[in-house]
Amino acid sequence: MKNIEKAFALFDAYNRNSPEHLVHDGTDYPAEYFYALKLHEWVTKLSPDASESLLLASRAQHIGRWEIARNTYPEGRAGYLKWRTDLSKFHAAKAAEILESAGYDAETIERVQQIIRKQKIKADEEVQTMENALCLVFLQYQYDDLIAKTSEEKMVTILQKTWAKMSDPGRNMALSLPYSDEGKRLINIALAQA
């Protein structure tokens, strides 16, 4: 078994421990396992010649996300940002641990961690590809659920922030996704006001 296959198997096994589940096309999935698979799919669509480091990062981007719950941090923006920063460090450390056990060298591990931590996002093409893929996973699989529990005003702001994070390849893919009528309407408002 190649290192990458071993790493994928280890990442997937870890993410299958996700306590939250979702049903997609009639199949029940542990949530973080499902999102890791979909993130990997988007990365390969956006970057068919993706490097091994980018492919590895795509499967480990949110590894073990359930282990650091948002509700253990204060409400508000400062609490949210601290949670996101701590999560990013946790994902990078957990990925490094697994990659080491799969036989990867320090240089590859460091590169995967840079992508997971989204360092130099606009300047680093691979990090930007990851950001595009993350936004596309949100739009394709989480957007409609969020619409149901979020005010229109806040939803428009979220969409504008999502759009700002993406580069042209991500935006083009986002425009090609099938949306609900309400999803389309909100995107049109968000882009008209941007």
Task: Identify whether 129 is part of a domain.
Answer: no
Average pLDDT over residues 125-133: 96
What's the pTM?
0.93
| 125 belongs to a structural domain | no
For residue 1, pLDDT beyond 80: no
Q: What would the two tokens of residue 116 be? A: 């997971």
How high is the pLDDT of residue 95? Answer: 96
Compute the distance between CA of residue 131 and CA of residue 118 in angstroms, rounded to an integer: 8
pLDDT at 82: 93
The confidence score (pLDDT) of residue 120 equals 87
Number of domains in the chain: 2
Residues 93 and 162 in one domain: no
Spatial distance between the Cα atoms of 189 and 121, rounded to a whole number of angstroms: 27
Q: 153-182 burial, b if ≥16 CB within 10 A, otherwise e? A: eebbebbbebbebbbebbbebbeeeebeee
72-108 tens-digit pLDDT = 999 998 999 899 999 999 999 999 999 999 999 999 9
Q: Quick one: pLDDT at residue 68?
A: 93
Instruction: Report the C-alpha gap between 55 and 128 in whole angstroms.
Output: 13
Is 163 a member of any domain?
Answer: yes
Summarised one tens digit per residue, pLDDT across range 156-171 is 999 999 999 999 999 9
92 and 10 assigned to the same domain:
yes
